[in-house]
Amino acid sequence: MNLNRDIHPLTDFKHHTPEFVQQLKTTGEPIVLTINGKPALVVQDAASYQKLLDLADESRVLEGIRQGLEDMRAGRGRPAEEVFADIRRDLSIPHDA
């Protein structure tokens, strides 16, 4: 995002919405809108916002994996067989199922 190019007064956005929408779709970059000269809002097209959400989800998954590996190295884990046996017992699933 180019902060010099992509910060605009909310009034400009209101008066030139179609042009801003086209810019959002073309660049995929968000636009910061100001009120009284101060950043107040960020506007982004739906496709690039979805990509941002996907990246955030992926980041959370990777952090969970990292934490799990760290726990294993520190001896805080349990063998999978033990965990699955507990699940089968809790759900009354026969061992041979």
Q: How many domains does the chain have?
A: 2
pTM of the model: 0.65
One domain, residues 81 and 56: yes
One domain, residues 53 and 25: no
Ordered alpha helix ranges (H), the chain: 10-15, 17-27, 46-73, 80-90
One domain, residues 11 and 38: yes
One domain, residues 58 and 32: no
Place of tokens 């097209």: 45
Task: Look at 14-18, 65-69, 78-82, 92-96 and tell me which has the smallest mean pLDDT.
Answer: 92-96
One domain, residues 60 and 33: no
Does residue 14 lie in a domain region? yes
Rounded-to-10 torsion of CA 43, 48, 50, 56: -90
Does residue 97 lie in a domain region? no
pLDDT for 87: 94
| Structural domain range at position 56 | 48-90
**Per-residue model confidence as pLDDT tens digits over 29-45:** 999 999 999 999 999 99
